[in-house]
């Protein structure tokens, strides 16, 4: 038998494979029937948002045991008192704290330089334009040009 990642009972019978973009890796989630039912998830019917919120829940559960080695504040305490213990807590609490911060501020980092945002937007726009051009090249059967465009898109997407 497998342990349920949410309630830790040993009756998990649902396994979900998902690609975690943050960790850049595939992740397996195990749920028992009642935890899955409570969240409206069934193997036949599951939406990406549902799975993502389960991942957040699991991260939160794991995170609550995370302790700052400098001041020994735990994530659970931070959530309870709305107070961090020291500057190091910020780096220690990782993704779970960032989820909270995004909920409070709609942003999860102070690297808010408009230049960075617009660079990214500029790249996105370039990619969209190139994709259109790629479609045209393909429909014109100009595969040499299409290959170059495809490489350009790949390069931009990697940035």
Partner 1 sequence: MSSLPDHFTNSPLPWLNSTSDCDSIVLSCEASLSRNLQGIPFPNKASATQLLKGQQKVQNALMKLEPPLFPYSFALADLRDLDRDLLSERRLLPANFESFSNDQSYLYCSNDESISCLTNSEDHFKVSISGKDNCLNEISQKVQQLDFQIQQHIQWAHSPKFGYLTASPLLVGSGFRVSVLVNLVGLELNGQLNKTVTACNRLGWNINSLMNDNERFPGNIYQISNQRTLGYTPEQTTRSLQELLSQISSQENNQRKALAFRSPEKILDYIGRPYGRLLYSHLAFPAETLHELLLLRTGVQLKVLQNLDIDDINQLITDTMNAHLNYHQLGTHAELAIEQVRSQKIQALIAE
Of 129-158, which residues contact partner 1 (CB under 8 A)?
none
d(CA 57, CA 50): 11
Using the rule CB under 8 A, is 66 a contact of partner 1?
Answer: no
Residues 6+ apart with CB under 8 A from 70: 85, 86, 88, 89, 92
Residue corresponding to tokens 């993704």: 95
Q: Which is nearer to Zn ion, 24 or 82 (CB)?
A: 82
Q: Does 80 bind partner 1 (CB under 8 A)?
A: no
Task: Indicate which single residue of 7, 18, 85, 145 sits in contact with Zn ion (rule: CB under 5 A).
Answer: 85
116 binds partner 1 (CB under 8 A): no
* Local structure of residue 97 (DSSP, 8 states): H
Interface with partner 1 (CB under 8 A), residue from 10, 25, 110, 141? 110
- Taking the C-alpha atoms of residue 80 and residue 101, their distance in angstroms, rounded to an integer, is 15
H or E stretch at 32: strand 25-32
Pick between residue 86 and residue 147 the one whose CB is nearest to partner 1.
86
Task: Choose the contact partner of 97 out of Zn ion, partner 1, none; CB within 5 to 8 A by kind.
Answer: partner 1
CB-based burial, 106-134: b 16+ in 10 Å, e otherwise: eeeeeeeeeeeeeeeeeeeeebeebeeeb
**Interface positions, 41-70, toward Zn ion (CB under 5 A):** 68, 70
Structure tokens at 19: 């690609």
* DSSP element (H, E) containing 92: helix 87-92
Number of shown-chain residues binding Zn ion (CB under 5 A): 8
Min dist. Cβ of residue 78 to Zn ion (A):
9
Binding site for Zn ion (CB under 5 A): 68, 70-71, 73, 85-86, 88-89
Binding site for partner 1 (CB under 8 A): 70-71, 73, 78, 81-87, 90-91, 97, 100-101, 104-112
């Amino acid at each position: 038998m497998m342990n349920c990642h949410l309630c830790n009972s040993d009756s998990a019978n649902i396994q979900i494979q998902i690609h975690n973009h943050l960790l850049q890796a595939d992740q397996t989630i195990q749920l028992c029937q009642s935890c899955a039912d409570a969240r409206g998830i069934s193997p036949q019917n599951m939406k990406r948002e549902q799975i993502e919120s389960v991942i957040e829940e699991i991260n939160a559960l794991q995170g609550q045991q995370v302790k700052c080695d400098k001041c020994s504040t735990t994530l659970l305490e931070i959530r309870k008192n709305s107070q961090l213990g020291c500057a190091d807590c910020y780096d220690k609490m990782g993704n779970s704290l960032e989820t909270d911060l995004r909920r409070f501020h709609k942003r999860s980092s102070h690297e808010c330089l408009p230049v960075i945002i617009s660079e990214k937007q500029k790249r996105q726009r370039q990619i969209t334009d190139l994709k259109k051009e790629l479609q045209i090249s393909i429909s014109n059967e100009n595969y040499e040009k299409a290959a170059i465009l495809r490489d350009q898109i790949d390069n931009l997407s990697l940035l």
